């Protein structure tokens, strides 16, 4: 039987506020356990939550960016359940009346095609605390620093049909929330994670299969692995005559398996009811328009502009708009070099990105500034150095040896453009390789590359490649 996969994601984006959603406690990462939780976060009786206005603006900003409905009236609800790291016994969330309603986002798949994914809703809620197990043998510790951290839970429609599509959607959201500067997207610190709802059904069947929920996936790689494993497991269960049970499952990256955490709760298990300590949230048209005026150029708009303004391919434009910082760096290089956007694109997406990856750096920490890279590109454009030598210069710049002009002078890397000097070297190479010359003139055209290589080797890569090709053709004719 041929099976169809159905996937929907619930993404938890931690909103980039300095204090929590209902208290003044700090949200800074990495503090001593329980040092950033006050009486509101600890659920003491008699204390009252006060809504952080910044989270409202951020949620509206997200909703406007993905063409969602913005609720003029939304309501906070209590989601009741018991966990050791939830001292109140309930989580303040939104249920029937979320702040952001239906919308859509278009994702780019690996083959360059585009796909629409519907957004069901996005609601505000507080995070719970964290249970600690490793430091306490045979016991568990509780850290409530995360309790009350503001989250925007973005719920998609079940529109994705493969793990690759789910990853593309998650990457698209990751890029978007960082463009909007409402979430830092740090997945190692738990600022951006997702739950994946996965089911399978016979291809052509309209009714959905029974879904399971994969909880707390915090890397793109884990999302892909966990979904593929779960799809294989569900198909095995169904093809062996069993039934898939609706449940919440954990992905164990060490064992590369998914396993049962608990049976999946339904909404009525949580006994949602409006929080009596929080008034309904009312948003005016003026407030929405004020947020709209702060929207930046979004990734899709920037990608299209890079294509039309700089004549870049869709692939190059997509790579360069992965983050606002990379896009800004690229545009700064183009402006400072006054050169070809394509050359700048190749270097930013090529050597610079490779250097950042090797060093585990973000582009904001790059050892080579946009101005410095532009200086290097100028020397390629005016034929002072070849593209090959430029890579050597770039490595030296990365290692802190100075700017491009300093390194070119110190290392004597100026390109040889004197035709008579190049001709002399060509003559020497031809004289040293009579056998290859005879074969070339006998019809073995591929040996032309051999002669080019020998000339470049003799000049330590400094000869102008274009001149070498032109002069060699005349000499070998």
184, 188, 192, 194: CA torsion to nearest 10: 170
Per the prediction, the chain carries an average pLDDT of: 93
91-149 residue pLDDT tens:
999 999 999 999 999 999 988 899 999 999 999 999 999 988 877 888 889 999 999 99
Question: Is residue 267 very low, low, confident or very high in pLDDT (cuts 50, 70, 90)?
Answer: low
164, 167, 169, 170: CA torsion to nearest 10: 170
Which runs of E-coded beta strand occur in 269-338? Answer: 273-274, 281-282
Query: In this predicted model, which residue has the larger pLDDT, 328 or 138?
Result: 328
183 C-beta neighbours (distance < 10 Å), count: 24
Q: What share of the chain is helix, strand, coil (3-state, %, to 5)?
A: 40, 20, 40
So what's the pLDDT on residue 270? 87
Q: Alpha-carbon distance 315 to 303, whole Å?
A: 9
Most distant pair of Cα atoms in the chain: their distance = 97
Q: Alpha-carbon distance 136 to 108, whole Å?
A: 44
148-193 residue pLDDT tens:
999 999 999 999 999 999 999 999 999 999 999 999 999 999 999 9
3-state secondary structure of 206: coil
So what's the pLDDT on residue 305? 97
| Phi/psi at 470 (5° precision) | -65, -45
Q: Alpha-carbon distance 346 to 195, whole Å?
A: 36
Q: Alpha-carbon distance 400 to 378, whole Å?
A: 19
- Contacts of residue 254, Cβ cutoff 8 Å, sequence gap at least 6: none
Query: Tokens 């150029």 map to which residue?
Result: 297
- Pull the structure tokens for residue 432: 């040293």
- Pull the structure tokens for residue 410: 């110190």
The percent of residues above 70 in pLDDT, for the chain, comes to 99
3-state secondary structure of 328: helix
The pTM (predicted TM-score) of the whole model is 0.85
So what's the pLDDT on residue 443? 87
| Phi/psi at 147 (5° precision) | -60, 125
So what's the pLDDT on residue 432? 93
So what's the pLDDT on residue 463? 87
5-23 residue pLDDT tens:
999 999 999 999 999 999 9
């Amino acid at each position: 039987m041929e099976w169809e996969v159905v996937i929907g994601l619930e993404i938890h984006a931690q909103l980039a506020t300095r204090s929590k959603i209902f208290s003044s406690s700090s949200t800074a990462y990495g503090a001593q356990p329980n040092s950033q939780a006050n009486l509101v976060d600890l659920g003491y009786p008699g204390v009252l939550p006060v809504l952080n206005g910044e989270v409202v603006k951020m949620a509206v900003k997200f909703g406007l960016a993905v063409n969602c409905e913005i609720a003029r009236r939304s309501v906070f609800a209590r989601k009741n359940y018991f966990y050791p790291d939830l001292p109140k016994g309930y989580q303040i969330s939104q249920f029937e009346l979320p702040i952001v309603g239906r919308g859509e986002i278009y994702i780019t798949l690996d083959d360059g095609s585009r796909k629409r994914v519907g957004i069901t809703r996005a609601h505000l809620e507080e995070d719970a605390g964290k249970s600690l197990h490793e430091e306490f043998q045979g016991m568990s510790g509780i850290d409530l620093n995360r309790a009350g951290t503001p989250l925007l839970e973005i719920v998609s429609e079940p529109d994705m049909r493969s793990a690759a599509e789910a990853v593309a959607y998650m990457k698209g959201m990751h890029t978007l929330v960082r463009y909007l500067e409402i979430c830092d997207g740090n997945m190692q610190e738990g600022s951006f994670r997702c739950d994946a709802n996965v089911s399978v059904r016979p291809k052509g069947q309209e009714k959905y299969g029974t879904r399971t929920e994969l909880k707390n996936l915090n890397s793109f790689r884990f999302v892909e692995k966990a979904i593929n494993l779960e799809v294989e497991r569900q198909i095995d269960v169904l093809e062996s005559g069993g039934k898939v049970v609706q449940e919440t499952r954990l992905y164990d990256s060490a064992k590369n398996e998914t396993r049962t955490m608990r049976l999946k709760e339904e909404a009525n298990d949580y006994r949602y009811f409006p929080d009596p300590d929080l008034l309904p949230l009312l948003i005016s048209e003026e407030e929405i328009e004020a947020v709209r005026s702060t929207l930046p150029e979004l990734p899709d708009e920037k990608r299209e502009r890079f294509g039309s303004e700089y004549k870049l391919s869709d692939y190059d434009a997509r790579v360069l708009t992965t983050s606002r910082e990379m896009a800004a760096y690229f545009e700064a290089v183009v402006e400072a070099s006054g050169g070809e956007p394509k050359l700048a694109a190749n270097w930013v997406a090529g050597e610079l990105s490779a250097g950042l990856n090797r060093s585990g750096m973000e582009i904001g920490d790059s050892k080579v500034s946009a101005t410095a890279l532009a200086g290097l590109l100028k020397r390629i454009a005016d034929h002072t150095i070849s593209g090959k030598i430029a890579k050597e210069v770039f490595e030296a710049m990365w290692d802190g040896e100075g700017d491009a002009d300093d390194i070119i002078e110190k290392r004597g890397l100026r390109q040889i453009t004197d035709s008579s000097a190049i001709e002399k070297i060509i003559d020497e190479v031809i004289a040293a390789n009579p056998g290859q010359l005879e074969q070339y003139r006998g019809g073995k055209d591929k040996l032309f590359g051999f002669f080019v290589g020998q000339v470049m080797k003799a000049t330590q890569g400094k000869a102008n490649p274009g001149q070498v090709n032109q002069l060699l053709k005349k000499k070998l004719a």
